[in-house]
Amino acid sequence: MEYVIEMLNIRKEFPGIVANDNITLQLKKGEIHALLGENGAGKSTLMNVLFGLYQPEKGEIKVKGKSVKITNPNIANDLGIGMVHQHFMLVDPFTVTENIILGMEPKKGLTVNMKKAEKDVKEISDRYGLRVDPSAKIADISVGMQQRVEILKTLYRGAEILIFDEPTAVLTPQEIKELTQIFRTLISEGKSIVLITHKLKEIIEVCDRVTVIRKGVGIDTLDVQGTTPNDLASLMVGREVLFKTEKTAADPKEPVLEIEKLHVKDSRGITAVKDLDLTVRAGEIVGIAGVDGNGQSELIEAITGLKKVTSGSIKLNGKELSQLKPRKITESGVGHIPQDRHKHGLVLDFPIGDNMVLQTYYQSPYSKGSILNNKEINKQAKKLIAEFDVRTPSEFTEARALSGGNQQKAIIGREVDRDPDLLIAAQPTRGLDVGAIEFIHQRLIDQRDKGKAVLLISFELDEVINVSDKIAVIYEGRIVAIVDPKETTEQELGLLMAGSKRKGAGEEANV
């Protein structure tokens, strides 16, 4: 079998660390090859080497058997290598076509030949079953569609080999299903795919072979057929991994959070949470299941004081929260792992140490009078770094420099350590690997077992079913059903989340 890409014994160093050490990755024509590893294992580095963003210190890259030097992304492009990044690089006010042709516009005299461009885009879109509207504006289309625009961008530039960096992290279950279908079409058209992921289920479902790397070292390359998620997980993490989170039955006590008749408007002034009732008791985890955009964000922001409550009441241990400032709410015992860790969770330009006291810097012992006590702050940071296994060179490292998983662990460490009566966890494991997911789930359950209330919001049904003691399904700003996770199925939840018993309606809601 012919290899289209061979990366042989690649070594890439950064000051202080070896990101890739002697890694070999060989991609066969027409296969979907998974690159599996924990966060920070060196997957992205390896692919950036292939894409010409980094130069390796050692090793050789061959494309179709010929040794090449890829010193910048343009060369990668010319060699037929395309990359679909996790964070899309699209210009929002531009149309799909404009985004795709950006940088290589077909010319007609001095002007851009938009007609031809749109025709070309439509043609490629149809060939690979992407079903993208070439004249739609990026700002108006869903995240799933935006990803397809990224795929189209690489195809338009003649890519033969497509690299996907965590493509499913941002997608709904429905969109993931459709993406899988797109993969298959691409392969049938003769393309080859490298899929960077840490989601084992995806690998088993779509991939042909998988290369596992751990802490910068290539561990093994194996055929997916005949492996189990457990095998892959232990290869990746380097130890046995428990998939079903072990937990005892919940022992719910008095209500901690009581929400009644809550109405909240979103940023455009449209009512996003309508007449919502919800109770979370001490010693239980309530999971909120729902398709993104059904009022989850507004609900959390209302509880934490980031958004004004239009009407209704939110009580914590019987005390009204709805008119309080965020600081007072935090002080009265609410912890919050925010959905967007870069936007809300961390000050990326602050050192990890400062981030660890983001809500408590003004309290003793982190400050006295109004003078910060950096010694205490860093002591606390060190403690949390150790306790929550945050992998960072030191507590003085900027949060920006950490991998997503470690950033998330830092946030969780900070929130859990304050020991809040109510812990709100929004998408706490988004984009994380199994090792980290397991760790985080265990922490949530620990909080529950300590008699605290936990509110979990997630778009991953697995997670909701696994971790929650009770599932509340949200649809169009209302809790439409409360179900017992032990008695429900993904199918049933999916239907409830779609707000209808008919299956088709749910898909429409996604677009």
Residue spans of alpha helices (H) in 367-481: 374-387, 404-417, 434-449, 461-467
| Nearer residue to another protein within complex by CB, 15 or 190 | 15
The nearer residue to another protein, 248 or 370, going by C-beta atoms, is: 370
Counting residues that bind another protein (by CB under 8 A) gives 32
Minimum Å gap between C-beta 13 and another protein is 8
Q: Residue 152: phi, psi to the nearest 5?
A: -60, -35
* CB of 211 or CB of 392, closer to another protein: 392
Residue number with CB closer to another protein (34 or 302): 302
Strands, DSSP E only, in 226-329?
255-265, 271-281, 285-289, 309-316, 319-320
State which residue, 254 or 349, has the beta carbon closest to another protein: 349
Query: What distance lies between CA 459 and its chain's CA centroid?
Result: 10
Query: Is residue 500 a contact point for another protein (CB under 8 A)?
Result: no
Give residues 27-86 in contact with another protein (rule: CB under 8 A). Answer: 55, 57
Shortest Å, Cβ 267 to another protein: 12
Q: How far is the CB of 381 from another protein (least distance, A)?
A: 14
Least gap, CB of 75 to another protein (angstroms): 15
Residue 401 DSSP label: G
Q: Is residue 269 helix, strand or coil?
A: coil
Contact criterion met (CB below 8 Å) for 291 and 497:
yes
Radius of gyration of the chain (CA): 24
Member of 129, 255, 326, 494 binding another protein (CB under 8 A)? 326
Nearest distance, CB of residue 209 and another protein, angstroms: 32
- Alpha-carbon distance of 79 to 411, in angstroms, equals 41
Angle at 259 between CA 257 and CA 265, to 5 degrees: 130
248 or 364: whose CB is closer to another protein? Answer: 364
Among 87, 325, 450, 502, binds another protein (CB under 8 A): 325
Q: How far is the CB of 136 from another protein (least distance, A)?
A: 28
Maximum Cα interatomic distance, the chain, rounded to a whole number of Å = 74
Q: Do 191 and 160 contact (CB within 8 A), yes or no?
A: yes
What character string, x for contact with another protein (CB under 8 A) and - otherwise, covers 331-370?
x----x-x----xxxxxxxx---x---xx-xx----x--x
Binding mask 165-204 for another protein (x = CB under 8 A): ----------------------------------------
- Sheet of 58-63, strands arranged across: 66-68, 58-63, 3-14, 17-28, 217-223, 209-214, 32-36, 192-197, 161-165, 81-84
Q: Kindly compute the dihedral angle of the four CA atoms of residues 20, 24, 30, 34, in this order, to the nearest 10 degrees.
A: -50
Name the residue nearer to another protein (CB basis): 174 or 355: 355
Question: Looking up tokens 């993931």, which residue turns up?
Answer: 176
Nearer to another protein, 247 or 265 (CB): 265
Residue 348 Cβ vs another protein, minimum distance, rounded to whole Å: 7
Residue nearer to another protein on the CB measure, 197 or 304: 304
String marking each residue 424-463 x if it binds another protein according to CB under 8 A: ----------------------------------------
Which residue of 112, 169, 217, 372 would you call a contact of another protein, by CB under 8 A? 372
Q: Judged by CB, which is closer to another protein: 42, or 506?
A: 42
Q: Does 218 bind another protein (CB under 8 A)?
A: no
d(CA 345, CA 430): 13
User: In sequence order, which residues have a C-beta less than 8 Å from that of residue 489 and are 6 or more positions away?
Assistant: none
Nearest distance from residue 327's CB to another protein, in Å?
A: 3
Report the SS3 class of residue 410.
helix
Dist CA 148 CA 150 (whole Å): 5
Q: Yes or no: say if 189 and 128 are a contact pair by the CB < 8 Å rule.
A: yes
CB nearer to another protein: pick between 293 and 326: 326
- What residues between 249 and 308 interact with another protein by CB under 8 A? 304, 306
| Nearer Cβ to another protein (196/411) | 411
- Tell me which residue has tokens 């080999």: 161
CB 406 within 8 A of CB 352: no
Q: How far apart are CA 20 and CA 49, in angstroms?
A: 10
Q: Does 330 bind another protein (CB under 8 A)?
A: yes
Taking the complex as a whole, the smallest distance from the CB of residue 500 to another protein amounts, in Å, to 35
Distance CA 498, CA 511 (A): 12
Residue 15 makes contact with another protein by CB under 8 A: yes
List interacting residues with another protein (CB under 8 A).
15, 55, 57, 304, 306, 325-331, 336, 338, 343-350, 354, 358-359, 361-362, 367, 370-372, 374
